[in-house]
């Protein structure tokens, strides 16, 4: 893992030489050259979701180019907002979970394409993103099925807890729901960086966390996860490998307030799992989630450990929870050819199936394990 102190010393020296107004750009200039700075959002290359439905301060809400289905409710993919941009959900033909959902009958399908944080967005916190997510759901009809990917998963779960009547079904894919359930690369990385150090990064960059810095600090720990072969579940297509490497180098900047709240509230203090998370003025309790839940996790995920992802089973005791564990690593959950062809096609059918939204009358909801795997009591893999 790169040493943040070395970055800061170099950045401050360069910034002082140029003048304080150049601190952020001077710092960016010291980051690795193989990481692309954020640019204008370009959705033209997305194979499925190529139309902008509306633009909000935090995101573009994008949807299918041609929506043939009029099924209600809609399915809204809540993309991660961490290091990379949202095309992870619609990467390439055969490697697009959005495509699998559309073709599997879960449409109409839309995606939160989060904007890279500008200087003006530096004060945006979690509530800003929940608020715009609420606007997106209202625009899609007032009730939607949410598909939360990685850190988009805890955001989707928080929304479902805050607005249970607005969520028809909830899919959590590789989502860190209970950070205390087991260590992971994210929790270990945050443990190595003190709040004081984070405050220093924000001071250097005018209240933002540059995506290139986040990538540099954590990419060493994630390197087994972030290779094209591991992610795509194939390494025989040079064009796809090149496309993945280009995606992996594209980063997004984050508002400092959002980053600090996520680091402290979700990972260090574990507020969501402990029932101490406040969202838009009220407590958001996971036990209040009314929607059926489908959990998709990766057996060899180091970014979000298996117990972190499957803990929702015990935290939502009054709603049906289905757990499915696939072979592979973290990003293969969202881009892997095998996972897209099997797991996401099954998720699409689950979303389209009206019966899966109806718990059996007179019986307490119980967690159901999908046939792809078996789990032990603590959520670790027993057999695959």
Q: At 366, which helix (H) or strand (E)?
A: none
Query: Is 4 in the same domain as 98?
Result: no
pLDDT of 359 > 70? The answer is: no
pLDDT score, position 214: 74
136 part of a folded domain? yes
Instruction: Give ∠ CA 190-335-85 in degrees, rounded to 5.
Output: 55
Query: Is 87 in the same domain as 139?
Result: yes
37 part of a folded domain? no
384 part of a folded domain? no
Query: Is 208 in the same domain as 279?
Result: yes
Query: Is 168 in the same domain as 294?
Result: yes
Confidence band for 21, pLDDT divided at 50, 70 and 90: very low
| Length in residues, the chain | 384
pLDDT of 284 > 90? The answer is: yes
With contact defined as beta carbons under 8 Å apart, do 65 and 51 qualify? yes
Mean pLDDT of the chain: 84
Edge-to-edge order in the sheet of strand 51-55: 51-55, 59-63, 109-114, 74-78, 144-149, 167-173, 293-298, 321-326, 367-369
Q: Which residues pair with 351 in a beta bridge?
A: none
Complete DSSP assignment for 185-204: HHHHHHHTS-HHHHHHHHHH
Question: What one-character DSSP code corresponds to residue 262?
Answer: I
**Structural domains of the chain, count:** 2
Q: Tokens in use for 66?
A: 């041609």
Output 165 or 41, whichever has higher pLDDT. Answer: 165
- Give the CATH number for residue 79: 3.40.50.1820
CA–CA gap between residue 222 and residue 220 (Å, rounded): 5
pLDDT score, position 185: 84
Q: Tokens in use for 280?
A: 């838009």
Write out the residue range of the structural domain in which residue 5 sits: 1-30
pLDDT of 322 > 80? The answer is: yes
pLDDT of 216 > 90? The answer is: no
Q: Which residues pair with 19 in a beta bridge?
A: none
pLDDT of 72 > 80? The answer is: no
CA–CA gap between residue 95 and residue 339 (Å, rounded): 9
CA–CA gap between residue 86 and residue 112 (Å, rounded): 7
Confidence band for 311, pLDDT divided at 50, 70 and 90: very high
CA–CA gap between residue 81 and residue 149 (Å, rounded): 9
Query: Is 303 in the same domain as 175?
Result: yes
Determine the angle formed by the axes of helices 4-18 and 195-204, rounding to 10 degrees. Answer: 30
Q: E strands along 28-115, which residues?
A: 51-55, 59-63, 74-78, 109-114
pLDDT of 36 > 80? The answer is: no
35 part of a folded domain? no
Confidence band for 91, pLDDT divided at 50, 70 and 90: very high
243 part of a folded domain? yes
Residue 59 DSSP SS3:
strand
CA–CA gap between residue 136 and residue 142 (Å, rounded): 9
Residue 297 DSSP SS3:
strand
With contact defined as beta carbons under 8 Å apart, do 174 and 304 qualify? yes
Query: Is 362 in the same domain as 328?
Result: yes
Query: Is 3 in the same domain as 121?
Result: no
256 part of a folded domain? yes
CA–CA gap between residue 75 and residue 88 (Å, rounded): 16
- How much is the pTM? 0.85
């Amino acid at each position: 893992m790169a040493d943040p102190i070395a970055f800061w010393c170099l950045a401050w020296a360069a910034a002082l030489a140029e003048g304080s107004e150049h601190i952020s750009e001077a710092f960016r200039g010291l980051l690795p050259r193989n990481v692309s700075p954020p640019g204008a959002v370009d959705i033209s290359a997305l194979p499925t979701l190529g139309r902008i439905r509306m633009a909000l301060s935090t995101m573009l809400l994008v949807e299918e180019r041609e929506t043939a289905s009029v099924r209600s409710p809609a399915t809204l993919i809540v993309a991660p907002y961490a290091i990379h941009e949202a095309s992870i959900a619609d990467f390439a033909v055969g490697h697009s979970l959005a495509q699998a959902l559309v073709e599997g009958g879960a449409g109409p399908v839309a995606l939160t394409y989060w904007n890279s944080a500008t200087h003006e967005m530096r004060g945006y916190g979690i509530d800003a993103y929940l608020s715009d997510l609420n606007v997106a759901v209202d625009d899609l009809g007032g009730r939607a099925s949410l598909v939360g990917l990685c850190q988009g998963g805890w955001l989707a779960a928080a929304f479902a807890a805050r607005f249970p009547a607005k969520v028809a079904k909830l899919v959590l894919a590789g989502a860190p729901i209970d950070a205390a359930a087991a260590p992971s690369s994210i929790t270990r990385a945050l443990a190595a960086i003190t709040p004081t150090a984070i405050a220093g990064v924000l001071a250097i960059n005018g209240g933002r966390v540059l995506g290139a810095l986040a990538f540099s600090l954590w990419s060493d720990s994630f390197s087994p996860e972030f290779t094209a072969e591991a992610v795509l579940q194939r390494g025989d297509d040079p064009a796809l490998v090149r496309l993945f490497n280009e995606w992996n180098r594209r980063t997004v900047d984050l508002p400092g307030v959002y980053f600090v709240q996520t680091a402290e509230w979700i990972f260090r203090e574990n507020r969501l799992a402990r029932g101490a998370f406040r969202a838009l003025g009220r407590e958001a309790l996971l036990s209040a989630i009314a929607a059926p839940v489908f959990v998709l996790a990766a057996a060899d995920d180091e970014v979000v450990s298996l117990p972190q992802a499957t803990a929702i089973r015990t935290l939502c005791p009054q709603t049906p929870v289905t757990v499915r564990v696939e072979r592979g690593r973290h990003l293969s959950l969202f881009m892997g050819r095998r996972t897209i062809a099997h797991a996401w096609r099954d998720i699409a059918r689950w979303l389209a199936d009206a019966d899966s939204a109806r718990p059996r009358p007179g019986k307490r909801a119980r967690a159901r394990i999908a046939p792809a795997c078996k789990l032990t009591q603590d959520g670790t893999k027993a057999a695959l």
